[in-house]
Amino acid sequence: MIPPNPFEAALRQGAPLGLVYFAEYFVNQGLMELLYFPSSPLPHSAQYRTLQLLYQAGVFVSRSSLRWIRLRRLWGLGLLQVLLAAFLLAAVAVNHLLPALGVAAALALGEGLVGGGAYGNAFANLSEQVPLPQQPLAVAVVTLMAEVAIAAAGGVALGAHAAFCGQE
């Protein structure tokens, strides 16, 4: 059997991880701060911190759960994260689409679970699919793909945030 090409394995894991990260960082850098629930007893800044805390808790839990939940194919997570980002974009665009902070909190937790799950599984899959001497190269390629997706999401998030806030 011919060992897998490290670039091919990296593409199989890095492309869906990049999609997850693009959607995730677009939400976190461009939309999450714009969610506000006036009926909540928490002020806006506390609402934002709560959503970020739940997001990070989701990341922690899903990255820590690889012993119990392993995913070999990550495209479903990419699609789920894009759908979540599209829904939250609509929620920001159509004020009061989300009925309460609790719904946003559940979505933030879910966003973290998806993102952390994609990250942990992508690198775990690489460790199984790529022979040890080629693993550093495959990991570097996947890491670069994820970082490019994060940077692109930051650029798109800047534009979206500025558009929603009426800035040029």
Give the mean pLDDT of 107-114: 98
- What is the token pair recorded at 138? 């495959």
Residues found in the chain: 168
Is residue 63 within 8 Å of 119, Cβ to Cβ? yes
- What is the token pair recorded at 144? 């670069």
At residue 30, the pLDDT reads 94
Confidence band for 3, pLDDT divided at 50, 70 and 90: low
Indicate if the pLDDT at residue 18 is higher than 70.
yes
In percent, how much of the chain has pLDDT > 90? Answer: 89
Compare 153 and 168 and report the one with higher pLDDT.
153
**Helices 44-63/101-129 angle, 10° precision:** 30
At residue 96, the pLDDT reads 72
Give the mean pLDDT of 34-58: 96
Please choose, from the candidates 143, 127, 124, the residue with its C-alpha nearest in 3D space to the C-alpha of residue 21.
143
Express each pLDDT in 57-107 by its tens digit. 999 999 999 889 999 999 999 999 999 999 999 999 987 789 999 999 999
Give the number of other CB atoms < 10 A from CB of residue 119: 21
Instruction: Give the rounded distance of the alpha carbon of 163 from its chain centre.
Output: 22
Q: Give the C-alpha separation, 90 to 86, whole Å.
A: 6
The domain segmentation of the chain, as residue ranges, is 6-34+42-162
Indicate if the pLDDT at residue 117 is higher than 90.
yes
Indicate if the pLDDT at residue 2 is higher than 60.
no
